[in-house]
Chains A and B, each alone.
Chain A
């Protein structure tokens, strides 16, 4: 087990390095404009551009740039560990900005995840148990809508109804929880709901399908034949098998989300990682793009390790080795 995890961690490092290399190359080969020019002021002279290049380290060959980047991640730079450099745009350390933004995205992600798990799983179970009734059809209709409705449309519509028309919501924006917990909650509810909707819809369909399949298994018949109550047959034997795969999907969905919920953050103007990376890409602020990439890749690879370990406990047939 220990060796397995160690090996997976090593593998995780490599994946992250490969991803950063790819990102690095993309922005080196296909820059949306010379960063040095873009950040050198309004009408830069060649001398100023040259100076900016030296300041950004863009004068060095690409492999030196990349190796410096990797070295800084592991050993730290003048702003501490992990060394993520400074933003070309603001000339301030990326690290602080990144952590503040990541915290906001996490608040958005956690809240939405709780919502979609609660709603998705319970709707899925009810749908499966009331198969082919009005309840089931209504739930699956809702799920189809949720899966196919794009976040920006639902988000704008929700803002229009609950903010403009009903005035129940304080609107877009973000209030730190430390400043005013009430306002924070009021601002988060709508983004949580909108972000959770499509996941909840997808999870409801998945749980319904899994549960229906499980209930057709022979071991469910065995459970009934030994005299268990229907409650136990479904609540214990049925759910155990049908929710185990949900763990895997959830781990991946959630980790992807932590790399930035771009659309939701844009619609609700929430300063998370998604917004950060979008503006950084537009401005060729390469250090910021790379930093967000590293963080997002770390989330995904780390969560998939966590999921595999958890799965080993949930399903005895899966042996970790």
Chain B
């Protein structure tokens, strides 16, 4: 299968000017997305994952933000095209679904009409035809009795159904890229699995590229091919899912992996990452993770580690040598299993 590059973000920086200082929400993020690929972006709250994606579609509050870098979508820089060109990309070629489906639908309009509006935004279409398409889509995303549900208001939908409706809205024009910003965070676990299945199925059916933002590594393990781990506005590690999960290279990723519960490893202690994520106004000098890192050594609080392949097979941003990384990770794994047994 030939790969088609859909989206390439190059050195994206988003700095917000606030009365307290400059918030470096995103500080040099680069990644690529091909057709048919799912990229999982993982990180704690405030690590800049949502801002990265919102900024790609220029949905951040740009009045107070300094944005630099490039977001190349099918050959065009989304940060530079005109508003009208951007409007034609939004919802048609590049769609987005959001974290909180309760707040994302307009409370005063019918759900079906809100989806139909996405059709009318990009093509002339009779009302009946639009309604038919919406009803079909609502059925396709698993909403029962879509015909009568068309006329419901958002408050008459459950959380899972609202997220399904949002997905239907995102898919009306068969977009090339779907960005899902924590699509399951606000939902029950059972509903979570259904929504993830749905996104996975749609990815195959419509052959889109998906960016899945989450703080849940378990979600990434289920659906992503590529994983980018972010910390304090920067990527610290990026690689295929198999590599990142089996041979993680960054101590922050280790911490994340150790804090997921495993059903098959009964009795394993969950190890939280010590400390708090840093303030993005005063990011620690050197590696932003060093104050929380148990393996820090001299250069960590002075030199900012760049993101590149240090021989570990995929890029990471940690000063430790590849031998140390392998040794430390294996030690940590052994210790964890010992506690389990």
Contact = CB atoms under 8 A, between A and B. Distances in A.
The answer on A and B forming one complex is yes
Interface of B: 54, 57, 59, 83, 87-92, 95-96, 98, 100, 103-109, 117-118, 121-122, 153, 155, 166, 169-170
B96 A225 contact: yes
Contact of B104 (A219, A230, A241): A219
Contacts of B106: 219, 222-223, 237, 240-241
Interface centre among B92, B104, B122 (most CB of A within 10 A): B104
Contacts of A230: 83
Interface in A20-68: none
Contacts of A223: 106, 117
Contacts of A241: 106-108
A225 B103 contact: no
A226 B88 CA distance: 9
B92 A227 contact: yes
A221 B59 contact: yes
Given A225-B57, A226-B121, A316-B155, A219 B105 contact: yes
24 contacts: A218-B104, A219-B106, A221-B59, A221-B104, A222-B98, A223-B117, A224-B90, A225-B57, A225-B59, A225-B95, A225-B96, A226-B118, A226-B169, A226-B170, A227-B89, A227-B118, A228-B91, A228-B117, A240-B106, A314-B108, A315-B108, A316-B108, A316-B153, A317-B107
A229 interface: yes
A227 B108 contact: no
Contacts, number: 75
Given A221-B98, A226-B118, A317 B153 contact: yes
Given A217-B103, A222-B104, A225-B96, 6 more contacts: A218-B98, A225-B90, A225-B95, A227-B88, A315-B107, A317-B107
Contacts of A237: 106, 109
B149 to A, nearest CB: 14
B122 A227 contact: yes
A206 to B, nearest CB: 18
A219 B103 contact: yes
A226 B105 CA distance: 12
A241 B109 CA distance: 10
Contacts of B57: 225
A240 B284 CA distance: 45
A134 B87 CA distance: 29
